[in-house]
Amino acid sequence: MKKIMVIGASGQIGTELVVALREQFGHENVVASDVKDTVKEALKGGPYEQVDVMDNEALKAAVNKHAITEIYLLAALLSGTAEKHPEFAWKLNMEGLFNVLNLAKDKVIKKVFWPSSIAVFGPNTPKNNTPQYTIMEPSTVYGISKLAGERWCEYYAKQYDVDVRSIRYPGLISYTSLPGGGTTDYAVDIFYSAKRNEKYSCFLTEKTALPMMYMEDAIRATISLMEAPRDTIKIKSSYNLGGISFTPEEIYAEIKKSKPDFEIEYTPDFRQKIADSWPSSIDDTDAQNDWGWKGKYNLEKLCKIMLENVLDTGINV
């Protein structure tokens, strides 16, 4: 019997993932969990546990209470925030992972999903169509924690036979829940300004191309990877996932087709350096070949849905 726990359920990915998993596997079989004591409206359709993933005993108690078999671990500090709080970012991103991997090593749970990121790449990585295996050398705290996490995932898979699966997410774009503290967040923020008819002040330059993905694609990729037969998952560290690649100038031009008066200015801040160290586009051939990955959303489709659905008040749920 599958019993899933999503840790970091109140975040941008977690909120939509919980909803999608509950639809697929039954509301009672998906426990949303977060460090927050207030439960978001979108998460109220099933069980909720307030847990700090760094508190190993509390985590174990919640896992035992619900007889959890699979954990999706999404609690993490993203790139921008991690630069401001490097030690805490390292602690949260690594301790949480160890606590969950050890539950799988001890056979308390059967399967783990852990998100990596395009942040594992660095300034010396080939920028275009970045391959699965290449120079890494991340230059951000977040990227360093993600690359270390990937190495540990592979180690636990090979040494302890842990079934851990991972994706290197590009920037994720959605309207139900806001991202927090990432470098790719501009591609979400811009829609709220467009909706409010406000000029958008972009913290990256107009020519900064980054890999991005609409959330529905990311959720589908995540669940497909977790549901794929174990022997098809050849990469135990983390799979490249490409999505679509665009610049602030390109997304602005696409939004302007529906909002001709929309204005933008470019005021790059500390996140420009982070973005400059990341790939512009990603080669995800391995994900396509191993577990049949195929994205559905292009920039035009993504902009249409975002403009139709973002609320000018900010968060939708």
Q: Which residues are catalytic?
A: 142
Verify binding: residue 183, ligand AKB, rule CB under 6 A. yes
Per-residue contact string for residues 151-170; x = within reach of ligand AKB by CB under 6 A: ------------------x-
**Residue of 41, 43, 46 whose CA lies nearest to 8:** 43
Complex with ligand AKB: residue 11 or 47, whichever CB lies closer: 11
Per CB under 6 A, which of residues 35..74 are in contact with ligand AKB? none
Compute the 3-state secondary structure of the chain and give helix, strand, coil in percent, each to the nearest 5: 45, 15, 40
CB atoms within 10 A of CB 86: 15
The set of residues, in sequence order, having a beta carbon less than 8 Å from that of 253 and lying 6+ positions away, is none
Verify binding: residue 182, ligand AKB, rule CB under 6 A. yes
Measured between alpha carbons, how far apart are the two ends of the chain, in Å? 30
CB 266 to ligand AKB: min, Å: 18
Using Cβ positions, the residue closest to ligand AKB within the complex turns out to be: 182
Per-residue contact string for residues 83-122; x = within reach of ligand AKB by CB under 6 A: ----------------------------------xxx---
Verify binding: residue 10, ligand AKB, rule CB under 6 A. no
Q: Which of 177, 184, 222, 238 binds ligand AKB (CB under 6 A)?
A: 184
CB 75 to ligand AKB: min, Å: 14
d(CA 45, CA 280): 38
Question: How many residues form the binding site for ligand AKB (CB under 6 A)?
Answer: 11
The set of residues, in sequence order, having a beta carbon less than 8 Å from that of 168 and lying 6+ positions away, is 116, 117, 118, 120, 146, 238, 239, 240, 241, 282
CB 28 to ligand AKB: min, Å: 31
- In DSSP terms, which residues pair with 245 in a beta bridge? 211
Q: Are 282 and 241 in contact (CB under 8 A)?
A: yes
CB 199 to ligand AKB: min, Å: 23
Complex with ligand AKB: residue 109 or 188, whichever CB lies closer: 188
CB 51 to ligand AKB: min, Å: 23
Q: Are 117 and 168 in contact (CB under 8 A)?
A: yes
- In DSSP terms, which residues pair with 266 in a beta bridge? 202
Amino acid at residue number 150:
E
Complex with ligand AKB: residue 78 or 109, whichever CB lies closer: 78
Residues in contact with ligand AKB by the rule CB under 6 A: 78-79, 117-119, 142, 169, 171, 182-184
